[in-house]
Structure 1
Amino acid sequence: MSLTITDLEQLQTEHPEWQMELVEGKIIVMGPSDYESEEIGTRLSTFLNIWVMSRKLGRVTGSSAGFILPRIEEDDSEKRNLRAPDVSFVKAERLKKTKRDFVELVPDLMVEIKSKSDRIKPLEEKIELFLQLGSTVGMLIDPDKLTVTVYRLNQAPVVMQNGDILTLPDLLPGWELAILELWPPEFE
Structure 2
Amino acid sequence: MTVDEMKEKKRQLGYSSEKLAELSGVPLGTVQKIFGGFTKAPRYKTLQSLEKVFAEAEQKEDLSTGAYVPGKQNVMMVHEPAAAYHTDGRKDQGGYTTKDYFALPEDARTELIDGVFYDMVSPSVIHQLIAGQIFVQLNVFLRKKKASCVPCIAPVDVQLDCDDRTMVQPDVLVVCDREKIRKSGIFGAPDFVAEILSKATRRKDMVVKLAKYAQAGVREYWLIDPDKQNVLVYDLKNMEFPSIYGFDAKIPVTIFGGECKINMRDIQEYMENVCGLG
Pick the TM interval, shorter chain. 0.7 to 0.9
Residue 158 of structure 1 is aligned with which of 224, 231, 243?
A: 243
**Aligned pair 1:185/2:272, yes or no?**
yes
Counterpart in the other structure of 2:153: 62
Higher strand proportion (structure 1 or 2): 1
Deviations 1:68-115 (A, max 9, x none): 1227xxxxx65x211111100011xx1158421132210100111012
Q: CA deviation at 1:139?
A: 0.1
Unaligned runs of 5+ residues in structure 2 are 1-90
Structure 1 pair 119–29 and aligned structure 2 pair: CA distance change class (3 A): closer
Counterpart in the other structure of 1:90: 175
Q: Secondary structure in 1 aligned to 2:273?
A: coil
Counterpart in the other structure of 2:110: 20
Q: CA deviation at 1:185?
A: 2.9
The amino acid of 1:30's aligned partner reads: M
Unaligned runs of 5+ residues in structure 1 are 72-76
Deviations 1:112-132 (A, max 9, x none): 1012x3353321121232122
Residue 50 of structure 1 is aligned with which of 121, 140, 143?
A: 140
Q: Secondary structure in 2 aligned to 1:185?
A: helix
Counterpart in the other structure of 1:8: 101
Q: CA deviation at 1:32?
A: 0.8
The amino acid of 1:124's aligned partner reads: M
**Aligned pair 1:118/2:208, yes or no?**
no
Q: Could you tell me how far apart the structure 1 residues matched to 2:151 and 2:255 are?
A: 16
Q: CA deviation at 1:173?
A: 5.1
Counterpart in the other structure of 1:74: none
Larger mean CA deviation between 20-29 and 143-152 belongs to 20-29
Q: Could you tell me how far apart the structure 1 residues matched to 2:111 and 2:202 are?
A: 18
Q: Could you tell me how far apart the structure 1 residues matched to 2:257 and 2:174 are?
A: 10
Give TM-score scaled by structure 1 length.
0.83
Q: CA deviation at 1:141?
A: 0.5
Q: Could you tell me how far apart the structure 2 residues matched to 1:162 and 1:173 are?
A: 17
Q: CA RMSD in A?
A: 2.1
Higher helix proportion (structure 1 or 2): 2
Counterpart in the other structure of 1:168: 253
Counterpart in the other structure of 2:227: 144
Q: CA deviation at 1:166?
A: 0.7
Counterpart in the other structure of 2:52: none
The amino acid of 2:272's aligned partner reads: P
The amino acid of 2:195's aligned partner reads: E
Does structure 2 retain, via aligned residues, the 8 Å contact 1:110–1:127? no
Counterpart in the other structure of 1:29: 119
Structure 1 pair 132–10 and aligned structure 2 pair: CA distance change class (3 A): same
Residues paired across the two proteins, number: 176
Runs of 4+ in 1 over 6 A off after TM superposition: none
Q: CA deviation at 1:169?
A: 4.2
Q: CA deviation at 1:25?
A: 1.6
